[in-house]
Structure 1
Amino acid sequence: MIKKTISLFLVSLLSCASVYAGDSNQFYTEIPTLKGEMSIDGDFNEPQWQQAAVVELKYETSPAENTPAPVTTTAKIFASQTSLYVAFIANDPNPSEIRANIRDRDSSWGDDMVGIKLDTYNNTRLAYQFFINPYGAQNDSIENELTGQESDAWDGIWYSKGKITEQGFQVEVQLPLRLFNFDDAKAIQQWGIELVRFYPRNENHRLSTHRIDRNVSCKLCQLGIMQGLEGAKQGKDIQITPSLVANQNNHRTINPQGPWEDETNVEVGLDLRWGITPTTLLNATINPDFSQVEADAGQLDVNNTFALFYPEKRAFFLDNKDYFDSQLNLIHTRNISSPDYGVKLTSKNDDHTVGVLATNDIQTQFLIPGNLSSDIATIDQESYNVAARYRYDPSRDFSIGTVVTLKQSDDYHNYVYSSDLKYQPSEQDTFTAQYAFSQTQYPKDLFNQFCNGDDCNTIPTDCDIANCDYNERVLRTKQEGEFNGDMYKLTYEHNRRNWYANTQYESVGDDFRADLGFIEKVDAAKFVAGGGYRWYPTDHFFSQIRFGGDWDITHTQQGEKLEQEAEVFLTLDGGYQSYVSTGVVQRTRVGRRHNPANIDIENNTQSFDETMGWFYTNFLPIQQLKLELDINYGDNIDFANDRLGTLTMFNPEVEWKVTESIVLDVSHRYQTLDVDGGRLFTANLSDIRLNWQISLNSFLRLSSVYTNIERDPSLYLYQSPNAKFQDLGNEVLYGYKLNPQSVFYLGYSDAFKASDEIDSLTQKDKTYFMKVSYAWLL
């Protein structure tokens, strides 16, 4: 009887008919396919524009709710055999108030802007987004319905021009069809579409071609329909990008100070991007340059027990990255640090989506997770890395998928197998589930990387915080032979216009590992429940008010309590494009293990009660200035000494648009921890970036990240750290971008250190680098 019930349930899911995809009742336009040459110059002189479909952006969807748009915006659309063309005429009663800046790609958010949102399969899974400011500066991203996230890491090659006029501004756009995955076997295309304008004044008004129902949680389900592109073909989608990278690195020891050692490196690489079919894309790379052109944002690593997360920025991994996403972060390609070669195949046919990625790596790097700490392990061996993702969408409100990852070197391997599903039984309800299983084998001596002393082979009998070289990473890596583990996550969300509720349960086994992903906590089971209410005041300074909270509890797999937390918060959106959020968190959680050689929590740790208040805001007091402020104050565990302290964190940020082409970003994080007896540490992190966008194609960028941590060693109970730590990294970078893959970079970077043994900041590293690449489009 149970099997029959389950079978009927699955059949009902697979046979669900849904109206969630682009709907002609929302908005409909039929576009012609025209012939003739086009010049993308910001003017609409070509005769094709006279035959194009004409569309009006009639509605304001935010902050007002589907009211008449406050300004007039007209769009014209047509297609050729190889491109989609869109022209926007954005009228403005006060053109002098238009916010426009010369910016690099994906850097002009906050400006006046027009955009196109396209779901080329009209199945509510992914949407391409293209936004353009009045000078033609480009922003592109991909919205992923499965994860609910938008990623601007993807960069396509497309063309735009903009100009400010006496009536407002106008923009001309060409989107080559080679950008898109779509089924060109169809004689006529039906794509989901929304045309959008952002009109930032006291508030940032979002204008659209159609109404958006706030009582429907799915946004991609509310696109309109664009019909046309008759006979559209993707054409030969072949892109060959050779590159030359040269750098000279000078480095030295500074304690004691040694002579400079020089190292020069010149590398030639080749990238291939081949659209085998309109729905199947092959990426391949040989000897790629995977260096970071721009420094990662500074992060303060003090009083942390878990590894820091850095996002992926490298083009090879980002192309069709969304094809690999699932509810769990099982694929985090920053774990592939320096490959010699790589290949990636992504494909979508009807209801089937496939992605396969394979690379080597000159070393093996992965995360060692735990329930109280995590860290990065490195093995000096070449590794082979494979990730595969398959997703099946039998209906528009149900999908199932699987993920497989493999990471292997000589005496190490990690294999992960996972399955997942997403089901939306109504416009307000979403259920997701994912299960993963892993098989892992570590090198026999891997644990020695995390052993603080000479010998961790034998577990001492008198181990405590003060005299033991053991820690959780030693315990998690001291494994004999192959070991297995599993993980699963269940979520349910109910989201309406005025209120929402959600719940989640996640269980991660002791021996589960996802070494190609970023799962930093194992041996933990967490339950979360939360909800909130939303108001939309009219004729008020604040246009949206949200009040909510959640409660969660976490245990080990043996039922020992790790943490219990309750949080309430209040969030407001309003004038001066302001966002304000504040709340209070009350939690009970455990500190360090008293016996580091014992994995147990009960009778081996003590619990601490913490109450923390937080406040965050960002707003634009004037057009040229954006201010942010993040404040935390309250109880916080002093993890080094296993006691309670008082945390003060103050993090202001300023973005100053000095001119329309020069912008200064300054961020400073000030953090202290006070304990009985005085101030344990004071930490400062300053991140300063100055960008001069000489033109839409070229820029000069300066950045400096400075960290200064001062400790009082007399207040440390179990160790004697340095009283002073200073770190300074600088970078000067000139860049010219013909497009995201045809680039020239010339730069210099250096690094300075100081400590108790090194009185002042002393240079230890300097690098001169150059990169040139050119994308041949065949």
Structure 2
Amino acid sequence: SRISGVLNQEATMGGLHEISPGRNMQFIPYASFRNFRALDTRDPSQPRFSQIDAQGKFGLDSKFVFHDSLVLDTTINPDFAQVESDEPQNTVNQRFEVFFPEKRPFFLENSNFFGDTSMGVYRLSQLLFTRRIVEPTFGARFTGKQGPWNLGFFVADDRSPGLLVPNFSSFAGKRAYFAVGRVSHDFGEQNNIGVIYTDREFAGFFNRVGGVDANFRLNKNWTSWFRTVVSSTACSPDEPGPTPPEPGSTCGAGPGYQFGSDTEAVLNNIGRRFSYELMFQDITPNFHTDTGFVPRTDIRNLSQYFHFYWRPEGKHLVFYGPEGQTQNYWDHNGVPVLQAYNFDWVFDFKPNLILAPIVAYETDTLRPVDFAGLPSNHRYVQRAVGFVIKGSPLRRLTFNTKVIRDGIVLIDVPVGLLPITGNETAITHTMSLKLTRHLVVDNTYILDRVVNGATHHAAFNNHIIRSKWNYQFTPALSLRLIAQYNGLLANPAQSSLTNTKNMNFDFLVTYLPHPGTAVYVGYNSNLENLVPGLCHQLPGSTVCIPNGPGLVRNNSFINDGRQFFVKISYLFRR
């Protein structure tokens, strides 16, 4: 179909008959028990272990349905011990925050009522990114639809800011409070306009964001999206999170007030043969959101994507064609801080195999505000070649491999040196194997190798290996095993990084006779290359040297964190 959209490319689903509404009230109380040992680095110069031999915890999740279309979800003292750990990503030599998606069920449900930020190939700024809420003790969400009105309201607290600081900090024991609301109105055919407001309060400081958004279906092929918001922030540079101050932000200079704005728009056409997407962003230097995810500010961004596929639908070749993407970023002084151009030619073969060679060209401009040692703006030029191959050529095998050889700006340079262009080899490989009817194995390997472009010596090699095994004994009983290794091998003569090695093991048995009623038994263990005493200690003592370097690494592993837990929940319905 040439009509814009994704769902309309799918087949028609049938077989749904005599569906009745569910119960109007649900209660899921839970009880958990755990013992754990963890590394405490709240005072970086005095790292130590904290340990609890036995800790009980109780909580309650509830759901109330009104008029079959409005839902109130609440949680008291939630526990997420059974949630799977994050999929690995490269976080080394990154100038901006890396996005890790939310996985906790309470925060995922009905999250679309607070705005969809995935428009085709682009991910727009998120005003509600619930991973900012790390240690909640309560939360409530009211969502639903009444006629043409779509409603979404959310409140929660977060103890983590008061738990991340030493006991002598003025922030110790304090918590942050979140409040988010969005109301939108549908009109015409697949059009809507809405308003959104977010607020985070902590220790007398605040961050508030508000504005309007709209979706318009221009015709059967083209759709558009628009949002403009402003932020008002009374900030403290000493708060431990939730987001680092952006370059040029007044939050990095001391307590103060700042005001900013964020305007974004998308025009797209998503079809089987032709797709096109145009995105515009204008985010001022002092725009800030403590409830959301905006990795980069002080930009005006104009980005485009297109593809055109010929579809011979032959014996071996299903479709082929070009894909292209451009990204053009300027700061608010007119400096072109990023210009990127990517092109590939994709081939889709039977049975379900995609191959695409890639070429790219990119320029980055670092300013003194980005790197303190730079006397003036400096432009870095990078080129890239590579390929992607992915698919499911066998019924039991799915894989995705991406290999890129490109230039990169090395910013983690030794003290006293300026950033330099390096040569990067980046490999990402994922493979899923269904070995038996009950066993599925998912493997991931990530390599990021950067060579100093001036000396031609390696700056660092980062290896990440992850293997996840799921065994389904019965429809209700399952076992999950995850093992992950992350090794950063750094050259101190070429980078400011240190050798860091980490091994993590995650074991979980789940008995789930029906959703909401479950028994979880889990064990997590983490190993890291640290000296047994964690730090340089005073002679004849186990106390760290005052104002010392903190954690000291070596080549051997110690266990710096482990947890055993049992969690039981039961679903009551009325």
Q: Could you state the TM-score of these two structures normalised by the residue count of structure 1?
A: 0.63
Give SS of 1:217's match: coil
Partners of 1:624 and 1:530 lie apart in 2 by 33
Aligned partner of 1:672 in structure 2 is: 449
- In the superposition, relative to structure 1, how do residues 622 and 224 fare at CA in structure 2: closer, same or farther (>3 Å)? closer
Give SS of 2:106's match: helix
2:329 is aligned, of 554, 575, 579, to 554
Aligned partner of 1:391 in structure 2 is: 184
2:508 is aligned, of 710, 717, 733, to 733
Partners of 1:745 and 1:344 lie apart in 2 by 26
- In the superposition, relative to structure 1, how do residues 522 and 279 fare at CA in structure 2: closer, same or farther (>3 Å)? same
Instruction: Report the count of equivalent residues.
Output: 527
Partners of 1:336 and 1:585 lie apart in 2 by 37
The aligned amino acid for 2:423 is T
Aligned partner of 1:424 in structure 2 is: 217
Aligned partner of 2:527 in structure 1 is: 752
Aligned partner of 1:340 in structure 2 is: 137
Contact 1:536 1:544 in 2 (8 A): yes
Structure with the larger RCO, 1 or 2 (CA within 8 Å, 6+ apart): 2
Contact 1:389 1:403 in 2 (8 A): yes
Aligned partner of 2:433 in structure 1 is: 656
Give SS of 2:392's match: strand
Shift of 1:321: 1.6
- In the superposition, relative to structure 1, how do residues 353 and 651 fare at CA in structure 2: closer, same or farther (>3 Å)? same
The aligned amino acid for 1:359 is A
Aligned partner of 1:711 in structure 2 is: 490
Aligned partner of 2:548 in structure 1 is: none
- In the superposition, relative to structure 1, how do residues 360 and 394 fare at CA in structure 2: closer, same or farther (>3 Å)? same
Shift of 1:363: 3.1
* 2:360 paired with 1:581: no
Give SS of 1:715's match: coil
Partners of 2:138 and 2:241 lie apart in 1 by 31
Partners of 2:225 and 2:208 lie apart in 1 by 23
Partners of 1:221 and 1:713 lie apart in 2 by 54
Contact 1:363 1:379 in 2 (8 A): no
2:36 is aligned, of 241, 249, 255, to 249
Partners of 1:733 and 1:448 lie apart in 2 by 30
Aligned partner of 2:470 in structure 1 is: 691
Aligned partner of 1:440 in structure 2 is: 233
Partners of 1:493 and 1:611 lie apart in 2 by 28
Identity %: 20
- In the superposition, relative to structure 1, how do residues 664 and 404 fare at CA in structure 2: closer, same or farther (>3 Å)? same
Aligned partner of 1:95 in structure 2 is: none
The aligned amino acid for 1:237 is N
Matches within 5 A, 1:274-353: 274-327=64-117, 328-353=125-150
Which is further off, 734-743 or 616-625? 616-625
The superposition leaves residues 697-738 of structure 1 with CA deviations (integer Å, 9 ceiling, x where unpaired) of 11111111111111111123xx4x42x210111111111112
Partners of 2:475 and 2:16 lie apart in 1 by 32
The aligned amino acid for 2:198 is T
The aligned amino acid for 1:537 is P
Contact 1:594 1:604 in 2 (8 A): no
Structure whose CA Rg is larger: 1
Aligned partner of 1:777 in structure 2 is: 573
* 2:381 paired with 1:605: no
* 2:278 paired with 1:503: yes
Matches within 5 A, 1:165-564: 214-220=1-7, 234=21, 236-251=23-38, 261-327=51-117, 328-364=125-161, 381-443=174-236, 445-446=238-239, 472=247, 476-495=251-270, 497-564=272-339
Matches within 5 A, 1:597-636: 604-636=376-408
Contact 2:83 2:104 in 1 (8 A): no
- In the superposition, relative to structure 1, how do residues 262 and 287 fare at CA in structure 2: closer, same or farther (>3 Å)? closer
- In the superposition, relative to structure 1, how do residues 292 and 228 fare at CA in structure 2: closer, same or farther (>3 Å)? closer
Q: Runs of 5+ in structure 2 lacking a partner?
A: 118-124, 163-170, 414-418, 531-551
Partners of 1:665 and 1:226 lie apart in 2 by 32
Partners of 1:635 and 1:227 lie apart in 2 by 53
RMSD: 3.0
Aligned partner of 1:36 in structure 2 is: none
Contact 1:591 1:639 in 2 (8 A): no
Contact 2:250 2:256 in 1 (8 A): no
* 2:461 paired with 1:682: yes
Contact 2:5 2:269 in 1 (8 A): no
Q: Could you state the TM-score of these two structures normalised by the residue count of structure 2?
A: 0.85
Q: Runs of 5+ in structure 1 lacking a partner?
A: 1-213, 366-377, 452-469
Shift of 1:608: 0.7
Partners of 1:420 and 1:256 lie apart in 2 by 48
Contact 2:231 2:261 in 1 (8 A): yes
Partners of 2:49 and 2:13 lie apart in 1 by 67
The superposition leaves residues 186-239 of structure 1 with CA deviations (integer Å, 9 ceiling, x where unpaired) of xxxxxxxxxxxxxxxxxxxxxxxxxxxx11113556897999979x86364211
